[in-house]
Structure 1
């Protein structure tokens, strides 16, 4: 049996036993234990709230709780108490979901998946928790979207990651799904009161949703309707979709009234080794900001293998825009406030593991080799080859991974930023 109190007591007692050797400078990380998907990203009561999939008891995936950070600037994060634990009789994990503010009560409402998998039985339903202050939460008894509300063309067991959106008097909830042929799709539900929901329509199936569409996120930006989706087992295409699971953006036009979404463009969000389950928020500066999980399923998790008692982090927050049909991503400006002791970069110089690096280069070929000063055979390379930016960490002793090239070619000056 798990409870939020047990989790919070365990964290307070054990968090100082974590080995900090490989912890990041800017990235959000769990105080102890395992972290994966970001959940419930929102700006509420004059601060940012970031929740996340969390197993406080081990540095690998396990009984999913919801951890919680607050932040004033999305650079420095404060650990808050765990807000969700799988304590109900019909849940063995509290899986991913999103957040919204009730238009009437102004309460913060978190949507999550009640995952049950025990004794050969598996099912997933959706529920909510509410908070007036963003710190103390009350869980709804039962479910708001049950298995009986799943349409006939959708799988009855894989049904997760509810993410809400409000428009013209309706709360819409986007939920990851697949059909009987293991083709990913997104189910859309709606409600006028955040209490009574009805199935509205389905987006897909689509070949770019893999065999299961996870963690859907819908928003409007720069005149376009965008959906982020994380697709499991998506087939590789050239240098795209090379991970076991991939996260994509869809640019299109949404018509809620006529129950359809017209897809104009589909592309991978991030071609790196470690990016999954991104989610966004709209802040008080009217910025659409995206954060993802800085890891991937099906890998060795090196801090776990080393016994450091933690694993996982979130990406640097990225400000989004669409320019000339392209999905643009930039680190948020707040990071600049933490840059100190600037100096030039020279060949052979020693840098600390927490260095914040910025390179401005022409369009010719180049490569930077980052070596372990204690072992010349332990290194990784970042370079530009015929306009393609690449990362090759195949010679890294701690965490060897294959070479990855950028999705697009760069024919102009390149600005490269490496954030610890």
Structure 2
């Protein structure tokens, strides 16, 4: 599930249980020549739980590369969980096969079995990878926050190579 470290994730608390979601990173070494963008990498979404914040139960593989849409590269990471009504939504930062940043949305009713729900991106390319997505509600609107990689600097705009970007949505638009 993870051999070459982990990428960030998030914690979700419900019924006195903390659910930790994170990305297990695996770089395959069975042959030379992998580009580690389109092949040679596993990005596994992993969950473990704790009832006291110290003891953690076994790690459980929630999703792997086979669960992502076919137009998505092997760069998928940084899970975030939110709940709305009776549904849980898993948000993942991603990179398409044609190098456009996006966010993948999955839906579940049990925090274990997630089904692909939607992809959020921009009409014009805005970076090649969106990392560390956060989706939160404020005044009945959803706000998406991502750190896009690969946005070209323009004077002082995007001087930081991994800037912060936000956009608002309503639940009907996702």
TM range (shorter): 0.7 to 0.9
Is the aligned partner of 1:92 residue 2:4?
yes
User: What is the aligned partner in structure 2 of residue 189 from structure 1?
Assistant: 106
Unaligned runs of 5+ in 2: 35-39
Counterpart selection for 1:216 from 111, 117, 133: 133
User: CA-atom RMSD, angstroms?
Assistant: 1.8
Q: Distance in 2 between matches of 1:205 and 1:158?
A: 18
For the 8 Å contact 2:140–2:170, the answer to whether it is kept is no
User: What is the aligned partner in structure 1 of residue 51 from structure 2?
Assistant: 132
1:225-244 to structure 2, matched below 5 A, reads 225-244=142-161
Counterpart selection for 1:146 from 46, 52, 64: 64
Q: Distance in 1 between matches of 2:3 and 2:88?
A: 25
User: What is the aligned partner in structure 1 of residue 22 from structure 2?
Assistant: 112
For the 8 Å contact 2:95–2:128, the answer to whether it is kept is yes
Q: Residue 152 of structure 1 aligns to a residue in which SS?
A: coil
User: What is the aligned partner in structure 2 of residue 202 from structure 1?
Assistant: 119
Q: Residue 66 of structure 2 aligns to a residue in which SS?
A: helix
Q: Deviations over 1:61-107 (max 9, x none)?
A: xxxxxxxxxxxxxxxxxxxxxxxxxxx5x4321211011123xx431
Q: How many residues align?
A: 165
Q: Distance in 2 between matches of 1:207 and 1:111?
A: 30
Q: Deviations over 1:191-248 (max 9, x none)?
A: 1011111111110155464100111000011343211100001122342211222111
TM-score, normalising length: structure 2: 0.86
Q: Residue 181 of structure 1 aligns to a residue in which SS?
A: coil
Q: Residue 63 of structure 2 aligns to a residue in which SS?
A: coil
For the 8 Å contact 2:7–2:22, the answer to whether it is kept is yes
More deviation in 194-203 or 215-224? Answer: 215-224
Instruction: Please report how far the alpha carbon of residue 147 of structure 1 lies from its aligned counterpart in structure 2 after TM superposition.
Output: 1.3
Q: Distance in 2 between matches of 1:171 and 1:223?
A: 17
Q: Residue 98 of structure 1 aligns to a residue in which SS?
A: strand
Q: Distance in 2 between matches of 1:196 and 1:151?
A: 16
Q: Distance in 2 between matches of 1:223 and 1:198?
A: 24
Structure 1 residues 240 and 122: CA distance shift in structure 2, 3 A: same
Q: Distance in 2 between matches of 1:205 and 1:149?
A: 22
Is the aligned partner of 1:123 residue 2:123?
no
1:176-325 to structure 2, matched below 5 A, reads 176-207=93-124, 209-255=126-172, 260-261=173-174
Q: Distance in 2 between matches of 1:172 and 1:124?
A: 18
Unaligned runs of 5+ in 1: 1-87, 262-420
Q: Distance in 1 between matches of 2:126 and 2:9?
A: 18
Structure with the bigger percentage of strand: 2
For the 8 Å contact 2:43–2:76, the answer to whether it is kept is yes
Structure 1 residues 170 and 159: CA distance shift in structure 2, 3 A: same
